[in-house]
């Protein structure tokens, strides 16, 4: 696993679910799944899915 993607300002990239439009913001993590803040999208567990629509990780782009 290489370096996580970043935004222009160097912060961890926002990733967007291309099924429902929900945005994974690393600054927030995913509290419900006990994903702490500042977790890069690339470091999410393999079975993690979109909290909004259930789509799996392959639906996300940044």
Residue 8 Cβ, how far from another protein at the closest point, in Å? 11
Binding site for another protein (CB under 8 A): 14-23, 25, 32, 49, 51-56, 58-59, 61-62
Alpha-carbon span 33 to 61, nearest angstrom = 20
**Of 25 and 40, CB closest to another protein:** 25
Tokens, residue 14: 């926002």
**Of 1 and 58, CB closest to another protein:** 58
For the chain, how far is it from start to end, CA to CA, in angstroms?
A: 17
Residue 49 Cβ, how far from another protein at the closest point, in Å? 8
Alpha-carbon span 31 to 37, nearest angstrom = 8
């Amino acid at each position: 696993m290489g370096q996580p993607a970043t935004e222009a300002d160097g912060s961890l990239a926002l990733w967007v679910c291309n099924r429902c439009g929900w945005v994974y913001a690393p600054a927030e993590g995913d509290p419900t799944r006990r994903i702490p803040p500042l977790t890069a999208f690339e470091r999410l567990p393999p079975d993690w899915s979109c909290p909004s629509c259930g789509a799996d990780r392959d639906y996300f782009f940044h």
